[in-house]
């Protein structure tokens, strides 16, 4: 058993994403036939004003981004609840984990609590031993996996259009009630997407930074 950290990377080629602002302006201006206003520097203002601030968000559906998440099965289950997208996930039916051992993700509240961590580690190691024993007894991986814990690492590619990513960031990065792992992953991914498409994600990135400053101030006041 190996404990790893969750992570997320953008898989869509940067050069592909670099053309999105030009595409969004071209597609959006089709509605009012204002393509004559397109020049080398007109895209940012158009996308910001008409698509984001005035909420003509359906235009954002023309461009998609794929991201690879390394997370546990409880986080991936939350991700796949978002229906307007496509997924490719590591199959526990196909992969036999007995050769290299399972990788797992440990929640911080458990990692930072020695008693809880000892109990958690014991349980996870036991689950792995049981999985290996089931395989040795002839069970196929698709059935032996029934004893693997929720904290087992998975890898999943998710593809959503830009409108749906904005919706997911609202629900999973900006929402304080979202679970810690998906919130951390989505906050990281929002930062990465903001780096590539600042105009499309500036309002959300600003909200998250504001929340961070606000919560740090709250912690200082409490301390
Ligand atoms: C903090 C938190 C706690 C949660 N707790 C639970 C829980 O305890 N149990 C549970 O089962 N789920 C839970 N969920 C999942 C949640 O109920 C949604 O299923 C999930 O977040 C997908 O988001 P969405 O409904 O916005 O739809 P998405 O699939 O992301 O779709 C995007 C948008 O498209 C539209 N849309 C999509 N499909 C339809 C449709 N069929 N009809 C009409 N409009 C549609 C809606 O406007 C929707 O918001 C939780 C989510 C969060 C963020």
Distance (Å) from CA 78 to ligand 1 centroid: 10
219 band by pLDDT with thresholds 50, 70 and 90: very low
Distance (Å) from CA 68 to ligand 1 centroid: 21
Q: How do residues 176-215 score in pLDDT, each as one tens digit? A: 999 999 999 999 999 999 999 999 999 999 999 887 766 6
Distance (Å) from CA 81 to ligand 1 centroid: 7
pTM of the model: 0.94
Structure tokens at 177: 């009630």
Helix, strand, coil percentages (3-state) for the chain, rounded to 5, are 60, 15, 30
Distance (Å) from CA 67 to ligand 1 centroid: 20
Rounded distance between C-alpha atoms, residue 180 and residue 151, angstroms: 13
Q: Which atom of ligand 1 is nearest to the CA of 179?
A: 1
- Pick the catalytic residue from 14, 172, 177, 183: 172
Helix residue ranges per DSSP H, 40-91: 43-46, 73-79
**Is residue 22 a contact partner of residue 43, using CB atoms and an 8 Å limit?**
yes
Task: For residues 5-18, give the mean pLDDT.
Answer: 98
Q: What is the mean pLDDT of the chain?
A: 95
84, 86, 183: which to mutate for ligand 1, most atoms within 8 A of CB? 84
Q: How do residues 139-184 score in pLDDT, each as one tens digit? A: 999 999 999 999 999 999 999 999 999 999 999 999 999 999 999 9
- The residue length of the chain stands at 223
Q: Which atom of ligand 1 is nearest to the CA of 164?
A: 32
Respond yes or no: is residue 172 known to be catalytic. yes
Pick the more confident residue, 60 or 220.
60
What residues are in contact with ligand 1 under a 6 Å CB criterion?
81-84, 167, 171-172, 175, 177-178
């Amino acid at each position: 058993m190996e404990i790893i950290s969750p992570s997320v990377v953008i898989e869509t080629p940067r050069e592909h994403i670099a053309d999105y602002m030009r595409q969004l302006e071209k597609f959006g201006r089709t509605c009012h036939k204002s393509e004559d206003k397109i020049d080398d520097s007109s895209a940012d203002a158009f996308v910001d004003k008409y698509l984001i601030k005035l909420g003509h968000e359906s235009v954002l559906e023309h461009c998609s981004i794929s991201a690879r998440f390394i997370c546990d099965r409880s986080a991936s289950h939350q991700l796949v609840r978002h229906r307007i997208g496509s997924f490719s996930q590591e199959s526990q039916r196909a992969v036999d984990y007995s050769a290299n051992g399972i990788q797992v993700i440990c929640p911080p509240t458990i990692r930072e609590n020695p008693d809880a961590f000892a109990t958690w580690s014991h349980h996870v190691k036991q689950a792995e031993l049981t999985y290996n024993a089931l395989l040795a007894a002839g069970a196929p991986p698709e059935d032996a996996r029934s004893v693997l814990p929720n904290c087992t690492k998975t890898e999943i590619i998710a593809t959503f259009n830009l409108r749906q990513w904005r919706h997911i960031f609202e629900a999973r990065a900006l929402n304080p009630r979202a679970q810690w792992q998906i919130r951390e992953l989505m906050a990281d991914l929002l930062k990465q997407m903001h780096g590539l498409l600042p105009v499309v994600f500036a309002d959300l990135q600003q909200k998250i930074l504001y929340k961070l400053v606000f919560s740090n101030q709250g912690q200082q006041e409490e301390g």
